[in-house]
Amino acid sequence: MPTPEKTALAARLTQLRHAMREQHIDAFIVPSADPHLSEYLPARWQGREWLSGFTGSVGTFIATADCAGVWTDARYWDQAESELAGTGVQLMKIPSGASVLYIDWLAGRVRRGGTVGVDGAVLGLATARLLGQALDGAGVALRTDVDLLDAVWLERPGLPPQPVFEHLPPHASTPRAAKLAALRAAMAQAGADSHLISTLDDVAYLFNLRGADVSYNPVFLAHALITPQRATLFVADGKVDAALRAALAADGVDVAPYAAAHAALAALAPAATLLLDPRRVTFGTRQAVPAAVAVVEAVNPTTFAKSQKTPAEAEHVRATMEQDGAALCEFFAWLEETLADPQRAALTELDIADRLAAARARRPGFVSLSFGTIAGFRANGAIMHYRATEAAHAVIDGDGLLLIDSGGQYLGGTTDITRVVPVGATSAEQRRDFTLVLKGVIALSSAHFPRGVKSPMLDALARAPLWAAGVDFGHGTGHGVGFFLNVHEGPQTISPSAPPEPHTAMQEGMVTSVEPGIYRPGRWGIRIENLVLNVAAASGEFGDFLRFETLTLCPIDSRCLDLALLRADERDWLNAYHATVRARLRPHVSGAALAWLNTRTEAV
């Protein structure tokens, strides 16, 4: 018997198909996107989840009269198979590096003379161009002026009402006026006198503002238009109070209604030259620009600026890592004590997430989690983006590996860490896998590389020890991390599926994750993740070189290691890392947490 939830999802699909027939639409696309192309979406734009039940952060929903599917990559296949079962929606697997595979499917599926519909307000411009080209070649029309979700989602949420607040010194060490001046210089260099920013983390960074409109990311819904004399922040009424408006005005920033952004673009003078990032604006936004306005397409200058943390910001991040590490010590001390108690009550993956969140909440400067905690025991650890729920979670008992991926948003930085701990006995194969993953972490973390090297080129350094053993993993090795901003940011990414384009160049001050893994479906998953900072290494006749400073401070559980597989230099790296962790965290912990820290940082 289908559950009430599955029955409701099937009814929604039926309603959507009815709306499609009324609009003469043969296929309708619901991307995982909002008007800002955010990774994590406000409730109003979670239409793909509402229609399909798939809760992963990446995926594209498409419905035709006789087929419905969600296209997503390998990180979400196990999760999607479970969540889509019984809904009438199929999992459509996307191989690595083929994120727009659904475009070819549409071009081959929809009849010549048919119509594909999508809300242009949430369709990325770059994707729209690929989609339009493919459909035009197949004789299929593309409609971007229709949002069928409004027709079928009768209780669709409105815009989030949370207020905007200022990110203040000492943590916001670069004044808003200085950031605007730097941006205007970059605009002038690009030959532009106007610039529209729609990405929420860019907007928050530029104006030293934060919000709570998107789960886990301290951002708010807004667009920004910058000209040589003024900047305009388009944000919903009531979110910016009078005092903050006055502070913004003093820096030449006007506040306008959120819905007025497209009208402001339409009002640009014909002689204007507008800078737009084609990967970070939607098709609907681009359509608002008058044909007479010249457009320069380039990466948002703020994307580069916010990725290169200043020395002051790097110091705040280091201090934040000490607070986050202290919270982890308290949590892991509690976890080991609890697991050792034979009289304890049942311990679940949900308990892990709750207890870890509580430990972080006690630390100075903590604001929120940076993403939903992943606590996966045994087979659940092999599901890369697993999420325990009240309806489906594991009890932690017996022998197995427990993978915990978590992070926090602090006023002084954003954290993201993965550790794996043994519960009961470990097998030789588990220890081998864990050690291979650690070897990958050490290989990349120890690298020196030329300044400006394209970040995807570094990926093979982490995979080489795993490849040598005939093992690989189906996700990128590293992503950029914001400064009290999004836990995933660009322009750098360490991934085999990312092209080594000029904007991915590694520069001093960037914070990036290092997170190789091994996943054995139905058995266990292992991932070790640290955040690293690009710092100067050396200069000479071959140019400037960078290296990684490991920022994350938390022991790596040596009980999971096969020490025979580690070279002497790899043992030295681990021992030096643990010595640093012990020295940096000891002033922040006491009692059981200190005892746990001392034990888990003993040399191997």
**pLDDT the model gives residue 60:** 94
- The mean pLDDT value for 486-508 works out to 95
pLDDT at 304: 97
pLDDT, residue 260, reads 97
The least confident of 219-228, 401-410, 495-504 is 495-504
Stretch 350-360: mean pLDDT, rounded?
A: 97
Chain centroid to CA 216: 10
**CATH number of the domain located at residue range(s) 4-152 in this protein:** 3.40.350.10
- Mean pLDDT of all residues in 223-242: 97
**Nearest to 97, CA basis, from 474, 455, 503, 417:** 474
Rounded mean pLDDT of 302-314? Answer: 98
Mean per-residue pLDDT, 347-376:
96
Average pLDDT over residues 86-109: 84
* Separation CA 13–CA 432 (nearest Å): 46
Q: With a cut of 60, say whether residue 98 has pLDDT above it.
A: no
Helices in 272-347 by DSSP H: which ranges?
283-287, 301-307, 311-339
The CA distance from 54 to 84, in Å, is 6
Residues sharing a CB contact under 8 Å with residue 342, sequence separation 6 or more, in sequence order? none
The token duo for 359 is 């430990």
CB 259 within 8 A of CB 35: no
Residue 138 in tokens: 């197949």
Element (H, E) at 513: strand 511-514
559-591 pLDDT per residue, tens: 999 999 999 999 999 999 999 999 999 999 999
pTM score, whole prediction? 0.92
CA 447 to chain CA centroid, nearest Å: 24
Neighbour-count burial for 402-441, b at 16+ CB within 10 Å, e otherwise? bbbbbbbbbbbbbbbbbbbbbbeebeeebbbbbbbbbbbb
**Which pLDDT score, from 0 to 100, does residue 141 have?**
96
Sequence-distant (6+) residues with CB within 8 A of 427 are none
308-599 homologous superfamily? Creatinase/methionine aminopeptidase superfamily (3.90.230.10)
Mean pLDDT, the chain, integer: 95
What is the predicted pLDDT for the residue at 80?
86
How far apart, in Å, are the Cα atoms of 522 and each of 384, 403, 428?
A: 12, 14, 17
Fold of 165-302: Creatine Amidinohydrolase; Chain A, domain 1 (3.40.350)
- Residue 4: pLDDT over 80: no
The mean per-residue pLDDT over the stretch 314-318 comes to 98
The residues near 309 (Cβ < 8 Å, ≥ 6 apart) are 317, 483, 509, 510, 511, 533
Least confidently predicted of 51-55, 95-99, 151-155:
95-99
Q: Residue 550 has which token pair?
A: 């490991």
pLDDT at 590: 97
Tell me the sheet residues that pair with 296. Answer: 275
Q: For the chain, what is the largest distance between any 2 Cα atoms, rounded to a whole number of angstroms? A: 76
What mean pLDDT is predicted for residues 61-78?
89
Q: Which amino acid, 330?
A: E
The secondary structure of 335-381 as a DSSP string is HHHHHT-TTPPP-BHHHHHHHHHHHHHTSTTEEEESS--EEEEGGGG
Contact between residue 24 and residue 65 where contact means Cβ atoms under 8 Å apart: no
- Whether the predicted pLDDT of 256 surpasses 60: yes
Give me the pLDDT at residue 495, please. 95
What would the pLDDT profile of 419-473 be if each residue is shown by its tens digit? 999 999 999 999 999 999 999 999 999 999 999 999 999 999 999 999 999 999 9
Q: Which residues contact 537 (CB under 8 A, 6 or more apart)?
A: 448, 545, 546, 547
Cα–Cα distance, 546 to 445 (Å, whole number): 11
Mean pLDDT, rounded, for 412-418:
98
Q: Residue 362: is its pLDDT beyond 80?
A: yes
Residue 567: both structure tokens together:
């070279």
Residues with Cβ < 8 Å from 264, sequence gap 6 or more?
225, 232, 234, 256
Same fold, 4-152 and 308-599: no
pLDDT at 148: 95
**Domain residue spans in the chain?**
4-152, 165-302, 308-599
The Cα–Cα gap between 130 and 493 comes to 23
Please report, rounded to a whole number, the percentage of residues in the chain having pLDDT higher than 70.
99
Confidence of residue 81 (pLDDT cuts 50, 70, 90): confident
Q: Which of 47-51, 52-56, 314-318, 370-374 has the lowest mean pLDDT?
A: 52-56
Section 255-284 average pLDDT: 96
Lowest mean pLDDT of 49-53, 194-198, 273-277, 478-482, name the range. 49-53
22-36: pLDDT as tens digits: 999 999 999 999 999
